[in-house]
């Protein structure tokens, strides 16, 4: 009866059109009041504990803020230029460069919709002007944008870590090789399609221009080195690295690239005769800009937008954790685990069930909510079957990638539709051929665990664990 009330309440609220956070909270509170010994004040306490007790979740607002500064500034444009100069001369190279740009931006944003919006806004129109079919361009970007939650740092990985108490640092390590592999698979598919469709290529710009675009993109690329290097090297936790990333992104956008803030449009001062004088003048400009940016409308708008996204996501997480609390206190995962173990499913059979459940859930729910609901149920079963929790986490993240491209709530579909001005049906058709690659990649990740586990295990060996 408890299970029936909990899940009927959840899906009933969703069918009535309630936001997922409200549906999770309302079904949980109803179940607690009807069947549990918990008091009403304990519900408020649990909602507070959901975000205060999980130190890892503090990284989410910082990564969202850094992503907001980089998306608003010209980081995406510079990364795209660097990617085009690097591989744009290959047939289909503009599309391949778009994938490379998505991979690079994913490594500084941690968000899939943000990656699609930042990169797609620029490159889809550019590909169409260069002779690519619009459906081809839209499909490539919508699928490449899903790398935003697989290539670390990833907000979805942080949520999984909070739900299962698995190390966020190890999750970031585990996502690196699969993320690179998925990007390369997309590039190979693009190259084959480009040969068949006779898509154009860009002229090679020369090593001087490549070096120049690389230097211009260095502000964004350095963030990848700072965040991942500090985490993989054991210098900082993901939360500490996220805080540093937010400050660095602010400094790069406001005083480095000067795309927003009081120095917007002000060129760097040059003095060929006296380098020291030029450095001093630019340093004074930067010092003047930092306090001035506090009241700058653009900077304040970026912070406000990031705050709205953070509050929305943390509200979903808090309600989902309340839902998970009800699952745990009512021993629902335990009963489900016992039932599945009685079926005698082997590990490979259980993973098939996991993928089917997650793919279905991805059609209707937001990734963070899915992880916080499903992880407490699937995690103990996976442990009993000998499945590595890091491997399970990467499988869940790849499923969430696919969920970003499946209606009716696939966020990447809506972002791509907004960029192209097309309807959702058109975008779904554009994404379908590339979605087949993601499904094949899911099977590869599911049944070849060393793809996910090699890097964390290797780094553990280097550290003497």
pLDDT in tens, the chain (465 residues): 677 777 788 888 878 878 878 888 888 888 888 877 777 777 777 777 666 666 777 888 888 888 888 877 578 788 888 888 888 888 888 899 999 988 988 887 777 888 888 888 888 888 888 888 999 999 999 999 888 889 888 888 988 998 888 888 899 999 999 999 999 999 999 999 998 988 877 888 888 888 998 888 888 888 888 888 888 887 888 888 888 988 988 888 888 887 887 878 777 777 665 667 777 877 787 787 778 887 888 888 888 988 988 888 888 888 888 887 787 777 776 777 777 777 777 888 889 989 998 988 888 777 888 888 888 888 888 888 889 999 999 999 999 989 888 887 788 888 888 888 888 889 989 998 888 899 999 999 999 999 999 999 888 887 766
Domain-embedded: residue 404: no
> Distance between CA atoms of 353 and 359, rounded to whole angstroms?
10
Domain-embedded: residue 291: yes
Domain-embedded: residue 458: no
- The answer to whether the beta carbons of residues 364 and 408 sit under 8 Å apart is yes
Domain-embedded: residue 273: yes
Domain span including residue 174: 57-301
Domain-embedded: residue 208: yes
> Distance between CA atoms of 389 and 2, rounded to whole angstroms?
28
CA angle (199, 202, 203) in 5-degree steps: 135
Give CA separation, 168 vs 21, 45, 57, 354, 439, in Å.
Answer: 24, 25, 10, 21, 25
- The answer to whether the beta carbons of residues 96 and 190 sit under 8 Å apart is yes
Domain-embedded: residue 270: yes
Domain-embedded: residue 310: no
Total-model pTM: 0.85
Find tokens 């899903």 and name the residue.
Answer: 146
Sign of CA dihedral 186, 189, 191, 197: negative
Total domains, the chain: 1
Domain-embedded: residue 109: yes
Tokens representing 133 are 């079919």
């Amino acid at each position: 009866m408890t299970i029936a009330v909990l899940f009927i309440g959840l899906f009933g609220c969703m069918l009535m059109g309630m936001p997922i956070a409200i549906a999770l909270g309302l079904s949980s509170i109803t179940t607690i009041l009807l069947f549990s010994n918990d008091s009403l004040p304990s519900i408020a306490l649990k909602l507070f504990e959901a975000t205060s007790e999980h130190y890892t979740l503090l990284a989410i607002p910082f990564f969202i803020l850094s992503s907001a500064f980089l998306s608003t500034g010209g980081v995406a444009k510079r990364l795209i230029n660097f990617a085009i100069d690097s591989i744009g001369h290959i047939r289909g190279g503009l599309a391949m460069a778009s994938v490379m740009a998505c991979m690079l931006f994913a490594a500084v944003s941690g968000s899939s919709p943000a990656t699609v919006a930042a990169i797609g806004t620029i490159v889809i129109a550019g590909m169409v002007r260069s002779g690519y079919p619009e459906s081809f361009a839209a499909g490539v970007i919508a699928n490449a944008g899903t790398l935003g939650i697989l290539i670390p740092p990833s907000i979805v990985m942080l949520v999984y870590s909070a739900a299962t108490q698995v190390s966020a640092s190890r999750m970031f390590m585990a996502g690196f090789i699969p993320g690179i592999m998925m990007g390369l698979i997309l590039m190979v598919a693009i190259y084959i399609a480009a040969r068949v469709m006779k898509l154009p290529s860009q002229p090679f710009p020369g090593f001087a221009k490549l070096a120049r675009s690389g230097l211009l993109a260095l502000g964004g690329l350095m963030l990848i080195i700072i965040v991942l290097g500090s985490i993989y090297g054991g210098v900082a936790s993901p939360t500490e690295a996220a805080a540093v990333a937010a400050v660095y992104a602010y400094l790069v956008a406001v005083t480095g690239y000067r795309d927003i803030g009081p120095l917007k449009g002000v060129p760097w001062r040059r003095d060929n005769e006296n380098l020291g004088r030029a450095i001093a003048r630019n340093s004074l400009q930067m010092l003047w800009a930092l306090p001035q940016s506090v009241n700058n409308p653009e900077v304040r708008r970026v912070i406000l937008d990031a705050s709205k996204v953070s509050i929305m996501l943390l509200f979903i997480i808090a309600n989902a954790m309340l839902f998970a609390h009800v699952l745990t206190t009512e021993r629902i995962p335990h009963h489900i685990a016992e039932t599945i173990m009685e079926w005698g499913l082997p590990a490979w059979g259980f993973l098939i069930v996991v993928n089917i459940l997650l793919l279905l859930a991805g059609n209707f729910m937001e990734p963070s909510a899915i992880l916080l609901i499903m992880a407490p149920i699937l995690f103990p079963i996976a442990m009993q079957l000998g499945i590595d929790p890091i491997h399970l986490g990467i499988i869940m993240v790849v499923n969430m990638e696919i969920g970003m491209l499946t209606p009716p709530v696939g966020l990447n579909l809506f972002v791509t539709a907004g960029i192209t001005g097309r309807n959702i049906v058109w975008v779904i058709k554009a994404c379908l051929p590339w979605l087949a690659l993601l499904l094949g990649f899911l099977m590869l990740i599911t049944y070849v665990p060393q793809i996910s586990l090699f890097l964390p295990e290797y780094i553990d060996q280097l550290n003497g664990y």
